[in-house]
Amino acid sequence: MSRHVYAFDAALPARDPKELLGGKGAGLNAMTELGIPVPPGFTITTDVCLAWRARGDFPEGFATELKLALEGVELRAGRRFGDAADPLLVSVRSGARVSMPGMMDTILNLGLNAETVEGLAATSGDRRFAFDAYRRLVQMYGDVVLGVDHHRFEETLGALKKELGDPRVLDSKLPAEALEELVRRYLAILEGEGKPFPSDVQAQLHGAIGAVFASWDNTRAVRYRKMQGIPHEWGTACTVQAMVFGNLGETSGSGVAFTRNPSTGQRALYGEYLANAQGEDVVAGIKLERHFGDMQDIEFTVEQGRTYILQTRSGKRTAHAAVRIAVELVHEGVLTKEEALGRVDATSLEQLLHARLPTPDELLVRGIRAVATGLPASPGAAVGAIVFDADEAERLASEGRDVLLVRRETSPEDIHGMKAARGIVTATGGMTSHAAVVARGLGKCCVAGCAALNVDYAKQTLTVRTEIGEVRTFQKGDVLSLDGSYGKVYAGPLDVVAAAKVPELEELMRWADETRELRVRANADTPADARRARSFGAEGIGLCRTEHMFFVEERLEAMRCVALAGDEDVRAEWLGKIEPMLREDFAAMLEAMDGLPVTIRLLDWPLHEFLPREPNEHAKVARALGVPVSVVEQRARQMHEINPMLGHRAVRVGLTAPSIYRMMVRAILDAAIDRLEAGGDPRPEIMIPVVGIAGELSRMKQLTFEEAERVFEARGRRVEFKYGTMIELPRACLVAGELAKSAEFFSFGTNDLTQTVFGISRDDAGRFLPVYVDELQLLPVDPFVTIDEDGVGAMIRMACERGVAERADLSLGLCGEHGGDPQSILFAARTGLSYVSCSPPRLPVARLAAAQARTKLRAS
């Protein structure tokens, strides 16, 4: 039988101390070993919890071990548990392998009863203090161990205050007599419930330990573990520790301290209360940092001038501080570079690059609630006066006003207004709507698809039914605040925290780049994007969404004619007008990424998305095409789709209207040759989207190579390029072996693959997916944020295996939005992909996460 109880100064077996003693117990043991002043105590192992859960009772031999351990504490504290003259009081706390803040129970002040309370009063010289401790024990024990509703105690306290004539008096101002009376009444409540408070201190202790173990299985703890993916089988440890008191007069106190500034990372003790024991704490802090290899968040109590450290743990910190601390701890020799990389939450790095509002939780604490929630379409924050018209946005902005552009949805006619505005809000449209895509391209904050908004252009008002059922109307010029990272709209101006400048980030990124094996590319659709991406460390473009290149007025008009041309010859003519513009853009992108791969996805936009919406635009297109308006209208009607996601798009258009893809192939290769001729090193990769049938890819390959030969002949020189496909349909995964016969690379388009594997449209999931994740917990996370490994991941693994079996040197990448999610990046590394591609602001996230993934995989 293994040991059940470990004193803080006991030698531990060769096993992860946290696994055996929980985080808290392990920390106390370590601190004791380091000679840090810790009140004496011991920890009951997680195994005891598991035994207790299985049998409903403590294991054999436990009582004896507990008794011996308690005697050890008595010895070190110089007091005895239950001693009527000078009683030892103890706390009993839970502590699992990982922190589950507030989820389980704690009981303080055990060891008090009618006799010992008098002893405490005598030794402390403070009767009020002693009865205050006693009434707290009775209430806590009644609630936690005996299961009596805590409202009963609160009501009793309220009634007593009333009787004393001041219902609003503070607890700390109640005199000792009142507290004595309160204890009497509390004890009576428990008697009345048939659950008397045990005056036997040993019974108190056993009851409290059992209650702590039981709290592992309370509803909120179970739910929390499910959410966090913590196994129910771990169990909690239970720590029993001598009480020290920070409320024994002027020379006592309690507080928390951080060993560094949790906001900036600056190396200096930072705490809420430091009394007069500072020097000692600083020394302790350094010792603890060195031991745990991290900035510590320390709880301490000063009891009559003597400082005790009650708990130490890694401190929470801002992203800014996390980066600085990790880098400095390496410089101080505390951490290796690899360890430092593991200490920064990769996701948090994105915050550093954008202005932001306080988080919704932080605002809620301040009583500020969003008036509406939409999709977090483009990160960042913006505050400004609302306007409903792009021209007006431009005009007001030119006068120096901060404006937000509010539209039901945006279209290319709105782009000048979007550029002028600080942020954009739309009532409809998803993460890939015009507003979302353009805003991300412009680096503007955007909340899209905010369905609760009722935009009235005529009245120039915005009406919202808020989440709490209130109806609010905003006029043109009213100020709102947007949080594009959380998809929130707030009334009135909020403080915007500017993007941080963290000098240490560059060093951390350098280490990440040295460590990782997974390459990191960027999703970039314009030359400006490409340049920005390279400056953020992109090793190529993994996805250039060419459809986004048409979000410009003049191109859009020509593309409308392309869509509505009616036949290939007319279409080719209009494509001819676009070709030189595209060629120029491609050349600029290849220049920005000189020497690095640039994967260009041929058009993937349902033709009907190019269609004009307003009647006068039908007429414009009809004039341009030289056909009656009615013909244009009918063609447009015929192109309407019920499920555009599953419609006539991408390669399906490429094959049925081949002049479009032919033009794009020409523009890409001409651009590449332009770069060659300018002495550059262009590395274009042509990617065919939405392939599900092997023949689609082979037929399109034939067409691509035909067009390539034509270009090479016309230019009198050749340029190397790769041909591959985006894997974004389940069927593509199934026939990946066939696809690999034509493709030199696969790039997993995990957005669409998630949509088709789940049969869930991301744009339409708002009414059930959050309920699935948050409320019903049918999914651990949003599969559009983190790859669903059981479903989507299984398809990806299948596609990789089948593809590589056919073509050993097949290049494998991932270019969905998951490419910027650390958990998904770990999946990509584990699956053997060679790169991920993400949006430029996510590049630091991806680089760090890739390094962390490498370390994790090496360890496993």
Q: How would you class 850 by CB atoms within 10 Å of its CB: exposed for 0-12, middle for 13-18, buried for 19 or more?
A: buried
- The maximal CA–CA distance of the chain, rounded, in angstroms, is 105
End-to-end CA distance of the chain: 30
Considering only the stretches 17-25, 185-193, 315-323, 775-783, report the one whose residues sit in contact with a copy of itself under the rule CB under 8 A. Answer: 775-783
**Closer residue to a copy of itself, CB minimum distance, 226 or 717:** 226
The torsion angles phi and psi of 378, rounded to 5 degrees, stand at -155, 125
Considering only the stretches 97-105, 192-200, 417-425, 768-776, report the one whose residues sit in contact with a copy of itself under the rule CB under 8 A. Answer: 768-776
Site for a copy of itself in 793-832 (CB under 8 A): 794-795
Residue 815 known to be catalytic: yes
d(CA 726, CA 600): 11
**Closer residue to a copy of itself, CB minimum distance, 505 or 697:** 697
Q: Which residues pair with 426 in a beta bridge?
A: 407
Give just the sign of the alpha carbon dihedral 153, 154, 155, 161: positive
**Given 274, 368, 627, 734, the residue binding a copy of itself (CB under 8 A):** 734
Contacts of 580 (CB under 8 A, 6+ apart): none
Residue type, 211: A
Contact 723, 686 (CB under 8 A): yes
**Closer residue to a copy of itself, CB minimum distance, 120 or 687:** 687
Query: Which alpha helices (H) appear in 96-250, and where do they start and end?
Result: 116-124, 127-144, 150-163, 176-192, 201-215, 219-228
d(CA 835, CA 854): 13
Q: At closest approach, how far in Å is the CB of 723 from a copy of itself? A: 18
Contact 542, 836 (CB under 8 A): yes
Considering only the stretches 100-108, 306-314, 436-444, 688-696, report the one whose residues sit in contact with a copy of itself under the rule CB under 8 A. Answer: 688-696
Considering only the stretches 83-91, 253-261, 498-506, 764-772, report the one whose residues sit in contact with a copy of itself under the rule CB under 8 A. Answer: 764-772
Site for a copy of itself in 373-392 (CB under 8 A): none
Considering only the stretches 135-143, 352-360, 687-695, 834-842, report the one whose residues sit in contact with a copy of itself under the rule CB under 8 A. Answer: 687-695
**Closer residue to a copy of itself, CB minimum distance, 437 or 639:** 639
The torsion angles phi and psi of 752, rounded to 5 degrees, stand at -70, -35
- Counting residues that bind a copy of itself (by CB under 8 A) gives 60
Site for a copy of itself in 693-712 (CB under 8 A): 693, 695-696, 699
Contact 135, 114 (CB under 8 A): no
Considering only the stretches 47-55, 181-189, 596-604, 749-757, report the one whose residues sit in contact with a copy of itself under the rule CB under 8 A. Answer: 749-757
**Closer residue to a copy of itself, CB minimum distance, 383 or 650:** 650
Catalytic entry in 4, 206, 434, 548: 434
**Closer residue to a copy of itself, CB minimum distance, 251 or 634:** 634
Q: What ranges make up the beta strands (E) of 401-478? A: 403-407, 423-426, 445-448, 453-456, 461-465, 471-475
Contact 6, 199 (CB under 8 A): no
Query: Is position 791 an interface residue for a copy of itself (rule: CB under 8 A)?
Result: yes
∠ CA 503-533-815 to the nearest 5 degrees? 120
**Given 779, 781, 785, 804, the residue binding a copy of itself (CB under 8 A):** 779
d(CA 715, CA 667): 13
Instruction: Determine the number of helices (DSSP H) and then strands (DSSP E) in the chain.
Output: 33, 30
Q: Find the helix or strand (DSSP H, E) in which 613 lies.
A: none
Six token digits for residue 563: 């869509």
**Given 495, 790, 808, 859, the residue binding a copy of itself (CB under 8 A):** 790
Q: Which residues pair with 91 in a beta bridge?
A: 241
**Given 43, 113, 426, 756, the residue binding a copy of itself (CB under 8 A):** 756
- Sheet of strand 90-96: strand arrangement: 5-7, 41-44, 236-242, 90-96, 106-110
Query: Is position 761 an interface residue for a copy of itself (rule: CB under 8 A)?
Result: yes
Q: At closest approach, how far in Å is the CB of 735 from a copy of itself? A: 6
**Closer residue to a copy of itself, CB minimum distance, 205 or 621:** 621
Site string for a copy of itself, 637-676 (x = CB under 8 A): xxxxxxxxxxxx---xx-xx--------------------
Q: At closest approach, how far in Å is the CB of 435 from a copy of itself? A: 14
What 3-state class would DSSP assign to 105? coil
**Closer residue to a copy of itself, CB minimum distance, 242 or 688:** 688
Site for a copy of itself in 62-121 (CB under 8 A): none
Residue 434 known to be catalytic: yes
Considering only the stretches 235-243, 323-331, 538-546, 786-794, report the one whose residues sit in contact with a copy of itself under the rule CB under 8 A. Answer: 786-794
Contact 49, 238 (CB under 8 A): yes
**Given 290, 731, 806, 834, the residue binding a copy of itself (CB under 8 A):** 731
Query: Is position 755 an interface residue for a copy of itself (rule: CB under 8 A)?
Result: yes
Inter-CA distances, 603 with 87, 440, 664, 742, Å: 79, 19, 8, 19
**Given 365, 634, 678, 856, the residue binding a copy of itself (CB under 8 A):** 634
Q: At closest approach, how far in Å is the CB of 856 from a copy of itself? A: 25
**Closer residue to a copy of itself, CB minimum distance, 690 or 836:** 690
Q: Which of 458, 426, 423 is nearest to 444 (CA)?
A: 423
Site string for a copy of itself, 421-460 (x = CB under 8 A): -------x-x--------------------xx-x------
Cα 556 to its chain centre, rounded Å, is 36
Contact 513, 847 (CB under 8 A): yes
**Given 53, 185, 401, 465, the residue binding a copy of itself (CB under 8 A):** 465
**Closer residue to a copy of itself, CB minimum distance, 102 or 695:** 695
Q: At closest approach, how far in Å is the CB of 574 from a copy of itself? A: 19
d(CA 544, CA 429): 21
**Closer residue to a copy of itself, CB minimum distance, 122 or 798:** 798
Contact 747, 543 (CB under 8 A): yes
Provide the annotated active-site residues: 434, 815
Site residues (vs a copy of itself, CB under 8 A) = 428, 430, 451-452, 454, 465, 634, 637-648, 652-653, 655-656, 690, 692-693, 695-696, 699, 728-731, 734-735, 752, 755-761, 763-765, 767-768, 771-772, 776-779, 788, 790-792, 794-795
